[in-house]
Structure 1
Amino acid sequence: MARPWAVDIGLALLVQAAMTMPFVLPRDPRLPEATWAAYGLTTLTVLPLVWRRRAPLAVLAAILAASALYELALDGPGQPLPYTGLVIVYTIADLSPSRKRMGVLLLLPVVVAVSVWLNTRSAKELTFSLFVFGAAYAFGRLADTRRRANRVEAEQAAARERARIAREMHDILSHAVSLMIVQAEAGPVAVRTAPERAEAAFDAISGTGRDAMAQLRRMLGVLRETDDAPRAPQPDTAQLPGLLERVRSSGLDVAYEVTGTARPLPPDLAATVYRVAQEALTNTVKHAAARTATVRLAYGEDRLEMTVTDDGCGPTGGGGGHGLVGLRERAAAHGGSAVCGPGPGGRGFRVAVTLPLGAR
């Protein structure tokens, strides 16, 4: 993107080229002579545009002074349009605070009327001048409004992205740390009673930690936007068996059922299915004191229904914290819904997520 000062210099050169044309094009001998003095004074009305962003009101005053001097002291070629005045009025409408903008807007008709009186005293010129200056002011306000709208949209997009990253970080860390804690707590007991199980528990701890570190490195690499960042697709339904196997290593007996005609899902939807299962099972391991859990995927014609149930005591602390909120946000992002509450017959806990699918 070009730097502002380069844009302003380029704009000043463009305006200078436009204002040079009456001095170099063939002229009617009856018109005022195109002298170097007149051309130099014309250049002085253009030069302040280089500073139009930094001091727009001062630039406006300089342009008015140079233009008045040109009208009163020299009888040089006229211009088809007041280029410099239009540019600075646009700039003030776009960049200046409200009070300064309103002051210029109220002063503008007076300045235009005086300029027309000094030039042709024509009602036609007065009407045309008021129109073009009014249009320049309106375009400046439009540019400011559009820039503000883009800024708000960018801030909203950044907020959504922060929320998405927070959900991903929560799911990755919460799942991994919960399994590692469970395995670590079971390790000392297993060492005394079943050494072979202790070795498996430590293997599960290291495997879970390596998997979490790999996912975090990928996410941080994307945030840094470096070319050598490790790349990998988002998790999907094909990786659910591996997820369930890691959860089983914590001692929770997890069943996996699929009904209906399974079919490939869009990557973002498949990632949501994986993360929902991950978060629900993490809550079961952390809070439910459950022995068994079941993950069910039911494929319908136009929707996917996913349920995760356990036989534990359910989350404590008023609703499961940020994880269940994240589940609802993930489902809502796809136009779906998530319901969390007691399981069938009031036993255990149940997470039910409905996600719309495209027509088969």
Structure 2
Amino acid sequence: MESGPKGLRLSCSTMSTIHYPKVVTYEVCIHPEGAPFPNAGFFEATFKKRFPSASMSILDIAMQPEALKKKLEQAEVLVTSPADLTRMMDYIPNVKWVQLTYAGYDPLTNYLKQTSNFPKIKITRMGGVFGVRMAEYVLGYIIAHERNFEGMREQQKCQRWNYEKFKTYRELSELTIAIIGAGDIGCQVAKYCKSVGMRTIGVVTRERRPRERSEFIDEYRLTSDVLDVCGECDVLCNLLPSSPDTIDFYKEECFRSCKKKPLFINVGRGDAVKSETVIKALRNGWISGAVLDVFNQEPLPEDSELWNTPGVTITPHNSGITTEKEMVDLFTTNYERFIRGEDMKYEIDLAKLMAKNRDS
């Protein structure tokens, strides 16, 4: 007898009938930011410990192109980034499933716009690991904004004690946050905001049935009501994914509708709003600040006007990171489901995505 996935006891005859698909990944693709993890062998070692009979090849990007191509042609399962996947499509004829190393998959969306002959493969993304970190990020910047931590830091640099300037601020329980894109991560953000007494509005693309609603969201609204929502909130938090429906979602009229001059936080996707729109909103006083973690072009170019615009806080797309352990845990869970023929976690609905692209 031998242990199969999750310690399932299998006879020798049963083991011989199980097919463990060959896995291929670039070493640099194991890290969501494109750099190898400190322990480059961790991914492979953890996978092999759980599936000793399975084969995994971690490819070095420095390999000769022909050698890389040969390895990719043997792959049945591929672990890679969305951008690298689009470059590999001609070299993976036997791949049945791709595990992406990012939650977002903008390059794949763009690739699908240009092709009508995408292979019938399953694609899963990273998920379930960002909520807490991104909620901490959002709440942290709300507190920093309301208490004007940056202003106090500037006063310290000048060795000034200005009690009068900083003695007035709102309690968080007085604030309303509008979470545009209230999915799993958005609900986690709502949970953290509710913990300090904030009112939460979750903005979604379709009506939510009672069993789909989060206890941490006080009110659900539709994206078609976004102008009204903008007029009610003290914090406007974008968590929309990138799709044909969400590109340039925040037009001027959205910010013009912001009666309470909210703090705008973008931890969703950079293409949801144009830089010039954010800058105009700040200069016209429609919003009181902008915390931006995502951008149309990353890294943000040095000549971007955002760097020097008063009221803008820029962070290097680090509001929600992925650890090597989280990545390998999700992959091994999905690998087990894949060989069992079960639904995998965070599978992308390619048919729906392609249909949206056709309609856009």
TM-score, normalised relative to structure 2 = 0.27
Greater Cα radius of gyration, structure 1 or 2: 1
Greater share of helix residues, 1 or 2?
1
Higher relative contact order (CA 8 A, sep 6+): 2
Q: More strand by proportion, 1 or 2?
A: 2
With normalisation by structure 1, the TM-score equals: 0.27
